Amino acid sequence: RPNRPQNQSGPSRGQNPHSSLSLSTRRELYERDFPVYKQPVEVGCFSLDSERRFFNDGRQIRYYVEPDRRPNFDLRDGYKDRFIKRDDSVKEKLDHMLRWILANRSKLSARGTTASSCDLDIDFVTWRGHLTKLLTAPYETREGWQLAVTRFRGTLYISEVETEAARRDQENRTERHEEMMYWGYKFEQYTCADTVHSRPDPGGVVNTNEAFCTVVQTRLADHRLLFSGEVDCRDKDPNAPAAPACYIELKTSAEICTPKQRSNFHRFKLLKWWAQSFLPGVPRVVAGFRDEEGVVVAMETFPISKISHLIKNEHNCWKPTVCMNFCSDFLSFVKHIATEDNPSVVYLLSWEPRRDVTFSVHRDSPYCFLPHWFVEEMTS
């Protein structure tokens, strides 16, 4: 039985379609004007090396090298002998972001010389990937999620908890599925160089420990956000716009041969692609379309700002405004329920498709995710 907090009456009870203890994901409730979403500003970046060690700099950035319009990239090459896979049983939670925050605190506390000057001037700290899941929830029919929230020194930290279903799916992956998860990284290796002047090296090792992450600040309605997301590569033109506008998201997808496949691509894949890149202000996705054998046979660039026009002819399609309004209302809901400022209290928000978002409260439990090194440094 989940514990409910004492204060159960919401500020807008009676006028609001949501009760104060749960939040609906029904699309109709979020079809209103697009909320304010400020242009995301990059406030920093960090890198994770081949052993997943943190560096407070951009050493892992890669440069996009445009391939032929009709490439012949074999995405299966190297899967058996040149692939080092990150150990995904290690749950890193928010740790890398927290390390970045400690190293860059002076950039973030803007409240001047008051007693609270060490507090962050931010409402929410999280990973971009968690926000992507919120944006797509009104259209998601398969995978639920659990998000752990802790309020600490006025800021709400949001970290994902793996669901039982996700853990089962991970354990029961087929060999084909395991291999297909490699294909996206292999595509990155065919299209990215390590320096401005070098070429991609398809003969090298694919190591998924390595990552370059941008840290951006923005505001959604009245929520001040700080989040980080992995960036695949950047434009190598020295005259390219400043980050995040110079970043490029790489994707692979099955070749589109029928109208039905095109419709599914618009309805499901473009939703995920749009949500992931719109959040940090990454302006384009470069896609490689592959055949059944895992060979990339076509390339296409999708500017994020054009995706909402591309999908308008689809019947009953997803709408960016629904995604953003749901996310905004979710964050309001979190502010409303997660009232106790305490690093050892976790509000666990759970959602399954076709259900409402519900929550439970946990004290000194295994759900706690703010590490001692972070709490101590932020308190001193």
Helices (H), the chain: 95-103, 105-108, 128-136, 164-171, 175-191, 259-264, 270-278, 304-310, 320-337, 372-379
Based on the shown chain and the rule CB under 6 A, indicate whether residue 290 belongs to the binding site for ligand A3P.
Answer: no
Using CB atoms within 10 A of its CB, is residue 172 exposed (0-12), middle (13-18) or buried (19+)?
A: exposed
Report in angstroms how near the CB of residue 285 gets to ligand A3P at its nearest: 9
Based on CB atoms, which residue is closest to ligand A3P, 93 or 224?
93
Using CB under 6 A, count the residues that bind ligand A3P. 8
Query: Which of 123, 210, 232, 329 is the binder for Mg ion (CB under 5 A)?
Result: 232
**Main-chain dihedrals φ then ψ at residue 343, nearest 5 degrees:** -65, -15
Query: Which of 77, 123, 140, 232 is the binder for ligand A3P (CB under 6 A)?
Result: 232
Q: 369 with 148: CB under 8 angstroms?
A: yes
Based on CB atoms, which residue is closest to ligand A3P, 28 or 171?
171
Give residues 240-259 in contact with Mg ion (rule: CB under 5 A): 250
**Tokens 């401005």 appear where?**
196
Report in angstroms how near the CB of residue 320 gets to ligand A3P at its nearest: 19
Give residues 179-218 in contact with ligand A3P (rule: CB under 6 A): 181, 183-185, 187
28 CB neighbour count, 10 Å cutoff? 9
Give residues 326-365 in contact with ligand A3P (rule: CB under 6 A): none
Give me the sign of the Cα torsion angle 293, 299, 305, 307.
negative
Rg (CA), the chain: 21
Report in angstroms how near the CB of residue 137 gets to ligand A3P at its nearest: 15
How far, in Å, CA of 40 to CA of 243, rounded? Answer: 10
Question: Pick from Mg ion, ligand A3P, none: which does 185 bind, CB < 5 to 8 A by kind?
Answer: ligand A3P
- Token digits of residue 245: 């506008």
- Token digits of residue 248: 């490029």
50 CB neighbour count, 10 Å cutoff? 13
Based on CB atoms, which residue is closest to Mg ion, 77 or 232?
232
Using CB atoms within 10 A of its CB, is residue 251 exposed (0-12), middle (13-18) or buried (19+)?
A: buried
Report in angstroms how near the CB of residue 280 gets to ligand A3P at its nearest: 12
Residue with the shortest CB distance to ligand A3P: 184
Based on CB atoms, which residue is closest to ligand A3P, 251 or 284?
251
Report in angstroms how near the CB of residue 107 gets to Mg ion at its nearest: 25
Identify which of 191, 184, 156, 162 has the alpha carbon closest to the alpha carbon of residue 63: 191
Binding segment (CB under 5 A) for Mg ion, from list 147-155, 167-175, 229-237, 348-356: 229-237
Binding segment (CB under 6 A) for ligand A3P, from list 70-78, 84-92, 178-186, 240-248: 178-186
- The residues binding Mg ion (CB under 5 A) are 230, 232, 250
- The residues binding ligand A3P (CB under 6 A) are 181, 183-185, 187, 232, 251-252
